[in-house]
Homo-oligomer: A and B are copies of this chain.
């Protein structure tokens, strides 16, 4: 604590413990209470070598009891460090006790099974020959892979395959392609949009056993690993060697790097280190027909022909199965500061640099300036791990708090920064007492708004007031109707709000080129064709 700032008694949420694992996601965000103009994106912040801005719903939950920051560490008592707490990890292992059964997707949504073959005993025998011991048909084990972690969609796959090598993936896909069998590639099953589980009886192709680090270059920081490596384990691995992964997200304890790349995951380090389109150096991908496409280079620069790997980043397993990843890891920062500020939004700022003294000096100067100008009215700064995590916990539990408010309508939008909060105000006026709360928080630096609307219970009329209104509003701003979550199954119908017909047509042509039988992750990403 080198900041001149006092440990202010800032508002915090009083959160209950013991809620289900499936409620919490630990994104790091921004949240707010009042009107937002461009001035809440102070240019002064830009000098910070890393910053994460967060603001929460404040006004909309003012009736709740707040806990001072000093009390926050007590929240950690039950689970130790938050990052390893079950509250911020996702598990896909089993149904939480007492949780209601998830309705089958094919019953809940108007979707028709495409004419793929049905897995036969002959097929199972073939898989067993390819993957001795790697073919799972036990319904209890399958259950966890058929249901998404949010417990909103559910497939009825009868078989889960667990290859260990790219060659095994290639043999499986070659077989499925020949037999017209649909395949659902699955990483950590931590997606937000139902992209990681089958819609019908697609074969689940899991990367769980493909969890080997292939190489790490401790000079350049280039990591090459199989697609099934868990992000948190990779983080630990590279941090021991003086580097960090260029991405971090709440699901890191479960998500696979292959899934991160397939969904073009955003997350907490996006603003600092940029998109995976820039940090992924190479990919190995198995195409729908079993062809292994080896673009697994570790070069920073390579201008030999089209950059094919880019096609697969964010394609959600619909164009190929990512089997290995080469990724550029930046050096581990030696100094980290977190500032939590007030007025009119709550803003969480994280800096990372190489020298604590320098960073504190810059941050203090900025905070004094922000305070004296009236831009900020109060706040606190943390540098030690415990307090730092306590401040992040304020953000990390927003989702949990929201879920206690009733039914939650969730949207993940990209908007021009200066319009980031207008939709929240607009919806409050539009929805009136229909909604319990209209909450906007997100990543200020990325222009990423997480819009949440709560009501006592699911209401079709409220939904009708929200959709397509929210999407149309976003489209008018040339925003994105899916900033970082992707489209998966649940959002594939809204693609055209953010992309013109020419783009959609080209996407469909690419899909047809790379997967002519459409066996890879069907019913996902692209809208159903008429």
Is residue A530 contacting chain B, with contact meaning CB distance below 8 A? Answer: no
Give the nearest-CB partner of A276 in chain B.
B278
Least distance between A197 CB and chain B CB atoms (Å): 18
Q: Are A414 and B302 in contact (CB under 8 A)?
A: yes
Least distance between A430 CB and chain B CB atoms (Å): 24
Is residue A41 contacting chain B, with contact meaning CB distance below 8 A? Answer: yes
Is residue A486 contacting chain B, with contact meaning CB distance below 8 A? Answer: yes
Q: Are B305 and A504 in contact (CB under 8 A)?
A: yes
With contact pairs A298-B478, A503-B295 given, residues A304 and B484 touching in the complex (Cβ less than 8 Å): no
Please pick, from B275, B303, B486, the residue contacting A483 in the complex, using a CB distance under 8 A. Answer: B303
Query: Number of A residues whose C-beta is below 8 Å from B?
Result: 87
Q: Are A313 and B304 in contact (CB under 8 A)?
A: no
Per the bound structure, the CA–CA distance linking A445 and B447 in Å amounts to 31
Q: Are B484 and A303 in contact (CB under 8 A)?
A: yes
Chain A 271-322 residues near chain B, CB threshold 8 A: 271, 274-275, 277-279, 287, 291-295, 297-308, 310-311, 313-315, 319
Question: What residues of chain B lie closer than 8 Å to A314, measured between beta carbons?
Answer: 303, 306-307
Per the bound structure, the CA–CA distance linking A419 and B514 in Å amounts to 36
Is residue A526 contacting chain B, with contact meaning CB distance below 8 A? Answer: yes
With contact pairs A299-B483, A303-B263, A482-B303 given, residues A308 and B509 touching in the complex (Cβ less than 8 Å): no
Please pick, from B293, B301, B487, B514, the residue contacting A304 in the complex, using a CB distance under 8 A. Answer: B487
Please pick, from B301, B417, B478, the residue contacting A220 in the complex, using a CB distance under 8 A. Answer: B417
Q: Are A495 and B304 in contact (CB under 8 A)?
A: yes
Per the bound structure, the CA–CA distance linking A473 and B303 in Å amounts to 18
Is residue A513 contacting chain B, with contact meaning CB distance below 8 A? Answer: yes
Per the bound structure, the CA–CA distance linking A485 and B304 in Å amounts to 9
- The 8 A CB mask of A472-493 against B (1 = contact, 0 = none) is 0000001111111111000000
Please pick, from B278, B299, B334, B358, the residue contacting A277 in the complex, using a CB distance under 8 A. Answer: B278
Please pick, from B295, B315, B354, B510, the residue contacting A513 in the complex, using a CB distance under 8 A. Answer: B510
Least distance between A209 CB and chain B CB atoms (Å): 24
Least distance between A411 CB and chain B CB atoms (Å): 13
Question: What residues of chain B lie closer than 8 Å to A46, measured between beta carbons?
Answer: 331
Is residue A499 contacting chain B, with contact meaning CB distance below 8 A? Answer: yes
Chain A 84-99 residues near chain B, CB threshold 8 A: none
- The 8 A CB mask of A258-274 against B (1 = contact, 0 = none) is 00000110100011001
Per the bound structure, the CA–CA distance linking A503 and B304 in Å amounts to 11
Per the bound structure, the CA–CA distance linking A484 and B302 in Å amounts to 6
Question: What residues of chain B lie closer than 8 Å to A361, measured between beta carbons?
Answer: 358
With contact pairs A502-B291, A503-B293, A510-B306 given, residues A300 and B416 touching in the complex (Cβ less than 8 Å): no
